[in-house]
Amino acid sequence: MITAQPKAEVELNKTNMKLKKGDKVKVITGKDKGRDGVIERVYNKMNTVLITNINVYKKHIKKNEKMPQGGVVDLPRPLDVAKVVLICPKCGKESKIGYKIEKDKKFRVCKNCDSKI
């Protein structure tokens, strides 16, 4: 948390991250290229997003109290935002996100169909 900065500056710093939890995105590069999923978590500082069932790695667990046999679990890892594009909920296409300001409120728009998203 950056609390020392005035609010306006904090807002500015956030503008890199255009994606939000619940957005549907498509992976454009890497091992899950071409797949789509819904954003589960957004990590603003890291510029990464966690997407359901995307970028899942097998993790080997050593024997412990919970898993006396040890085992392999699926562990989703966050993906860089540069590796995904938003799928616009209105036009269903891969879209770039723009911003518009109306009555002092900033909202996201799809650059493809100009809808609020």
Residues that bind Zn ion (CB under 5 A): 88, 90-91, 95, 110, 112-113
Give whichever of 71 and 89 is closer to Zn ion, judged by the CB atom. Answer: 89
Give whichever of 23 and 78 is closer to Zn ion, judged by the CB atom. Answer: 23
Q: Least distance (Å) from Zn ion to the CB of residue 109? A: 8
112 vs 117: CA distance, rounded Å: 11
How much of the chain is in helix, strand and coil states, percent to nearest 5?
Answer: 10, 40, 45
Q: Least distance (Å) from Zn ion to the CB of residue 80? A: 23
Torsion of CA 80, 75, 57, 46, to 10 degrees: 20
Give whichever of 77 and 93 is closer to Zn ion, judged by the CB atom. Answer: 93
Q: Least distance (Å) from Zn ion to the CB of residue 108? A: 11
105 vs 27: CA distance, rounded Å: 30
Give whichever of 24 and 47 is closer to Zn ion, judged by the CB atom. Answer: 24
Q: Least distance (Å) from Zn ion to the CB of residue 26? A: 13
CA pseudo-torsion sign 47, 100, 28, 90: positive
Contact 60, 69 (CB under 8 A): no
